[in-house]
């Protein structure tokens, strides 16, 4: 149900399978694509703001599609753009020295080729591992460490785990000390490195229901029913709910993308997305020291999204959207039920009991949830966008899945990680996300203020010493706007309209609120990942809108040497005053793994809130109707 229409009627309608096929036909007709070339991605070329604003409903939007083609094992990519209506290639740009995301076909080949390599088989045999078929090989993004043998190659590093049978949890038994450096483009082992073995941990780490009998017997059914259906309306990829409107698309790297977020037709945001993320590990050792996966740019939060199952991943009256990507062979790839949408009860929206008048008023809060879940190797990342009746918009990221582990002598002390099961070692690490928030609050002419509480010293005008005020600082340029969270002074960042005023004459605004404590990047600024993930060195960055500036660590983060993306763009220190601003919020979790995270992690949460400040003249949710009474003759109002 709920798939995108086959004929796009809007410039930002979801990419369709027909469009993917057509784009590849047009590209192949040029005769310039080598046999065996792979398509790293095929995506809708989003029109820039001016083009989008000029488009009139009913007019063919003249859609373009972008493809990134990998012709061979060298460091060469082709960035092609095609006009579907005209049937021609409009851009053909050869990029040298850069790498695509890790390709599924090549990483699958890496597993088979490594398993057949005599030195690898010998290293396993030395550890008493004979059943090579059941060895699980994780291909990791390689990072950038300047090894001579890796220059000019597209590589991965392979770590191994032993399964007792095909559906076993291999992470129970890390093959410690063994790492394979692999050339993905040429499908060949560069080097099998054996740093010495540790005995395989003995205990299994299974998490299926059959492995944990008896199951608890006191969980009674809990049903969410909406007898009259949900309160949202869907037309293609346009969603309307409780005065909000939003259009969604799906990107191989960013996953879910929100466009044109409005409330009663007033603009809040032009485009909201997850631009990049990185998981840097804090253990400097031989097996874990290289680990810093860019799960958006090196794997792809959209590419790794799995179909969702009704009643399991999402509960209630669910609407699913399919997502169309492209296979590396250039065929349409439809992820069924990739995006889930539903409503959730969210407790009390507002309440007051008038102790004098004897009235009691309460309204229930409800939120619209639009979500998808990416499985990036061992980890799952759920991205949940929430819309609330009081004008709030929130992103919550839910982290689950399985820790990336090694094996140690049981009971041995470690400085950079924890033993989470006997002999199973999980290094400390971070999950750093960077959301790109192109807010347009009542139009494009916005400025950004940092607002925080400021204590006033006792003295004349503050005789009791209780005073504090809201200190507002205009972030005038890009360098001044590189900021950190500070919960002690309730720091937030307000995106203020330079043109619109509310009923009190105040500029309308939305603020970005760090709802949970968040770190910045812990790896040193001069380290490899410190340079490559510079976006995570500050929680906030602000840039003036530029259509090509979309990915926080640059367009080619895989094996990058650093400096691309936010640090590159903001070097010009452009003005941010009274302009079309884009906020970049880097947030996340520093994960000190614990036994409770094993063998599969209970969900951990991170995220942020976008909240109206003077965008409305009063509580915008006074018109929410009271709920029906609970059936005991009582009334909710
Ligand atoms: Co973690």
Helix (H) or strand (E) holding 222: none
pLDDT(127) > 80 = yes
Within-domain flag for 219: no
| Cα 603 to ligand 1 centre (Å) | 10
In a domain, 402, yes or no: yes
The reply to whether 4 falls in a domain is no
Residues 6+ apart with CB under 8 A from 328: 38, 39, 40, 103, 104, 105
CB 380 within 8 A of CB 399: yes
Residues 57 and 194 in one domain: no
3-state secondary structure of 59: coil
| pLDDT at residue 516, rounded to an integer | 83
Q: How many domains does the chain have?
A: 3
CA of 605 to the centre of ligand 1 (A): 11
Q: Does 523 lie in the same domain as 402?
A: yes
Residue 466, classified by CB atoms within 10 Å of its CB into exposed (0-12), middle (13-18) or buried (19+), is: exposed
Indicate the residue among 44, 62, 96 that finishes a domain.
96
Residues designated catalytic: 295, 379
Q: State in Å: Cα 523 to ligand 1 middle.
A: 15
- The predicted-structure confidence for 228-266, as pLDDT tens digits, reads as follows 999 999 999 999 999 999 999 999 999 999 999 999 999
Say if 347 falls within a structural domain. Answer: yes
Which H or E run includes 209? none
What is the per-residue pLDDT for 632? 52
Could you tell me the CATH number of the domain that includes residue 390?
A: 2.70.98.20
Question: What tens digit of pLDDT does each residue of 22-77 get?
Answer: 999 999 999 999 989 999 999 999 999 999 999 999 899 999 999 999 999 999 99
- Please provide the DSSP assignment of 311-343 as one string: TTTB-SS-EEEEEEEE-TTS-EEEEEEEEEEEE
For residue range 523-578, list pLDDT tens digits in order. 999 999 999 999 999 999 999 999 999 999 999 999 999 999 999 999 999 999 99
- Tell me: do 61 and 124 sit in the same domain: no
**Is there a single domain that holds both residue 139 and residue 188?**
yes
Q: Are residues 68 and 198 part of one domain?
A: no
Question: 109 Cβ partners below 8 Å, 6+ apart?
Answer: 184, 187
Where residue 2 falls among pLDDT bands split at 50, 70, 90? very low
Asked if the model's pLDDT at residue 631 lies above 70, the reply is: no
270 & 176 share domain: no
Whether residue 629 has pLDDT greater than 80: no
The answer to whether residue 10 is domain-embedded is no
Domain CATH for 136: 3.10.450.40
pTM for the whole structure: 0.96
Q: Could you give the CA distance from residue 401 to residue 593 in angstroms, rounded to a whole number?
A: 12
Chain centre distance of CA 557? 15
pLDDT tens profile 258-272 = 999 999 999 999 999
Look at residue 625 and tell me if it is in a domain: no
In this predicted structure, the answer to whether residue 504 has a pLDDT above a threshold of 70 is: yes
CA 67 to CA 92: how far, in whole Å? Answer: 10
Question: What is residue 596's predicted lDDT score, i.e. its pLDDT?
Answer: 98
In whole angstroms, give the CA distance from residue 342 to residue 44.
26
Instruction: Give per-residue pLDDT as tens, 139-198.
Output: 999 999 989 988 999 999 999 999 999 999 999 999 999 999 999 999 999 999 999 999
CA of 591 from ligand 1 middle (Å) equals 5
Asked if 81 and 91 touch (Cβ cutoff 8 Å), the reply is yes
Structural domain boundaries, residue 435: 232-613
User: Which own/partner pairs from 95-99 qualify as long-range (CB within 8 Å, at least 24 positions apart)?
Assistant: 95/556, 98/555, 98/556, 98/560, 99/75, 99/154, 99/556, 99/558, 99/559
The residue that leads in pLDDT, 445 or 9, is 445
Q: What whole-number percentage of the chain has pLDDT above 90?
A: 94
Dist. CA 406 → ligand 1 center (Å)? 14
73 and 52 co-located in one domain: yes
Q: Is residue 598 part of a domain?
A: yes
Residues 52 and 69 placed together within one structural domain of the fold: yes
End residue of a domain, out of 73, 96, 119: 96
Q: How many Å lie between the centroid of ligand 1 and the Cα of residue 430?
A: 6
Q: Are residues 127 and 87 in the same domain?
A: no
In this predicted structure, the answer to whether residue 7 has a pLDDT above a threshold of 60 is no
Q: How far is the CA of 271 from the centre of ligand 1 (A)?
A: 28
Q: Tokens representing 105? A: 């076909």
> How far is the C-alpha of 375 from the C-alpha of 358, rounded, in Å?
53
Q: Is residue 629 part of a domain?
A: no
Given a cut of 50, is residue 387 above it in pLDDT? yes
Q: From ligand 1's centre to the CA of 403, what distance in Å?
A: 6
> Measured between alpha carbons, how far is 432 from 455 in angstroms, rounded to an integer?
32
Say what the pLDDT of residue 252 is: 98
Q: How far is the CA of 597 from the centre of ligand 1 (A)?
A: 9
Cis before residue 214, ω within 30 degrees of 0?
Answer: yes
Length of the chain: 637
Query: Is the same domain home to 551 and 609?
Result: yes
Range 281-285, long-range pairs (CB < 8 A, 24+ positions): 281/404, 281/427, 281/428, 281/429, 282/416, 282/417, 282/427, 282/428, 282/429, 282/430, 282/522, 282/523, 283/414, 283/416, 283/417, 283/427, 283/428, 284/416, 285/416, 285/427
pLDDT of residue 636: 63
Domain boundary among 61, 96, 131: 96
- Both 381 and 473 in one domain: the answer is yes
Q: To which H or E segment does residue 110 belong?
A: helix 104-115
**Residue 545 burial class via C-beta count within 10 angstroms: exposed 0-12, middle 13-18, buried 19 and up:** middle
Mean of all residue pLDDT scores within the chain: 95
pLDDT at 4: 43
pLDDT at 300: 97
Tell me, in angstroms, the distance from the centre of ligand 1 to residue 352's CA.
41
Model pLDDT for residues 338-374, shown as the tens digit of each residue:
999 999 999 999 999 999 999 999 999 999 999 999 9
Q: 200, 208, 131: which is closest to 168 by C-alpha? A: 208
pLDDT of residue 53: 93
Residue 5 confidence (pLDDT) above 50: no
pLDDT, tens digit, 9 for 90 and up, residues 588-628: 999 999 999 999 999 999 999 999 999 999 999 999 999 87
Rounded to whole angstroms, the Cα distance separating 503 from 501 reads: 7
Residue 125 clears pLDDT 70, i.e. is over it: yes
Distance 146 CA to ligand 1 centre (A): 27
If asked whether residues 317 and 339 sit together in one domain, one would say yes
The rounded distance, in Å, linking the Cα atoms of 103 and 70 is 10
H helix or E strand, kind and range, residue 619? none
What are the pLDDT digits (tens) for 390-415? 999 999 999 999 999 999 999 998 99
Cβ distance 373 to 380 under 8 Å?
yes
pLDDT band of residue 9 (cuts 50, 70, 90) is: confident
The alpha-carbon radius of gyration of the chain (Å, integer) is 26
Tokens of 53: 């604003």
Q: What is the arithmetic mean of pLDDT over 474-483?
A: 98
For position 628, what pLDDT does the model report?
77
């Amino acid at each position: 149900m709920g798939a995108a229409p086959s004929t796009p009627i809007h410039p930002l309608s979801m990419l369709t399978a027909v469009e993917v096929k057509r784009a590849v036909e047009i590209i192949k007709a040029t005769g310039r694509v080598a046999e065996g070339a792979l398509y790293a991605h095929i995506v809708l070329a989003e029109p820039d703001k001016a083009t989008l604003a000029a488009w009139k409903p009913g007019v063919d939007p003249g859609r373009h599609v972008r493809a990134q083609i990998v012709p061979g094992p060298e460091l060469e990519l082709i960035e092609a753009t095609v006009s579907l209506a005209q049937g021609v290639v409009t851009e053909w740009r050869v990029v040298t020295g850069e790498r695509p995301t890790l390709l599924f076909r090549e990483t699958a080949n890496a597993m088979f080729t490594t398993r057949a390599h005599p030195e690898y088989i010998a290293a396993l045999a030395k550890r008493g591992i004979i059943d090579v078929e059941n060895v699980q090989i994780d291909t990791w993004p390689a990072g950038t460490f300047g090894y001579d043998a890796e220059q000019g190659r597209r590589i991965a590093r392979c770590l191994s785990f032993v399964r007792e049978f095909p559906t076993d949890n291999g992470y129970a038994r890390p093959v410690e000390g063994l790492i394979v450096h692999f050339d993905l483009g040429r499908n060949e082992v560069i080097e099998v490195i054996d740093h010495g073995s540790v005995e395989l941990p003995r205990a299994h780490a299974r998490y299926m229901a059959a492995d944990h009998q008896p199951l608890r017997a006191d969980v009674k059914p809990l049903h969410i029913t909406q007898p009259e259906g949900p309160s949202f309306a869907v037309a293609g990829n346009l969603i309307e709910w409780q005065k909000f409107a939003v259009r969604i698309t799906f990107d191989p790297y960013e996953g879910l993308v929100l466009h044109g977020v409005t409330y009663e037709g007033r603009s809040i945001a032009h485009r909201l997305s997850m631009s990049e993320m990185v998981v840097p590990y804090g253990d400097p050792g031989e097996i874990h020291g290289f680990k810093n996966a860019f799960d958006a740019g090196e794997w792809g939060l959209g590419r790794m999204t799995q179909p969702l199952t009704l009643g399991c991943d999402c509960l209630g009256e669910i609407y699913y959207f399919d997502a169309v990507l492209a296979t590396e062979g250039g065929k349409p790839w439809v992820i069924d039920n990739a995006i889930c949408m539903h409503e959730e009860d969210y407790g009390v929206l507002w309440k007051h009991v008038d102790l004098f008048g004897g009235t009691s008023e309460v309204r229930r809060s409800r939120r619209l949830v639009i979500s998808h879940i990416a499985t990036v190797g061992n980890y799952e990342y759920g991205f949940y966008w929430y819309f609330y009746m009081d004008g709030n918009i929130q992103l919550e990221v839910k982290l689950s899945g399985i820790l990336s582990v090694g094996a140690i002598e049981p009971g041995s002390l470690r400085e950079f990680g924890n033993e989470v099961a006997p002999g199973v070692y999980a290094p400390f690490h971070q999950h750093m996300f960077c959301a790109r928030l192109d807010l347009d609050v009542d139009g494009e002419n916005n400025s950004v203020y940092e607002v925080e509480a400021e204590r006033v010293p006792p003295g004349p005008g503050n005789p009791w010493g209780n005073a504090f005020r809201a200190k507002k600082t205009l972030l005038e340029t890009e360098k001044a706007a590189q900021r950190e969270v500070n919960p002690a002074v309730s720091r937030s960042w307000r995106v203020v309209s330079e043109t619109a005023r509310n009923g009190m004459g105040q500029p309308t605004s939305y603020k970005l609120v760090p709802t949970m404590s968040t770190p910045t990047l812990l790896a040193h600024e001069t380290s490899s990942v410190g340079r490559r993930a510079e976006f995570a060195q500050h929680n906030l960055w602000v840039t003036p809108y530029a259509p090509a500036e979309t990915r926080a660590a640059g367009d080619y983060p895989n094996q990058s040497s650093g400096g691309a993306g936010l640090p590159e763009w903001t070097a010009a220190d452009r003005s941010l005053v009274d302009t079309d601003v884009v906020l970049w919020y880097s947030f996340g979790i520093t994960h000190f793994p614990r036994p409770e995270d094993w063998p599969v992690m209970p969900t951990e949460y991170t995220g942020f809130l976008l909240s109206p400040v003077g965008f409305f003249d009063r509580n915008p949710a006074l018109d929410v109707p009271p709920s029906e009474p609970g059936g005991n003759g009582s009334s909710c109002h």
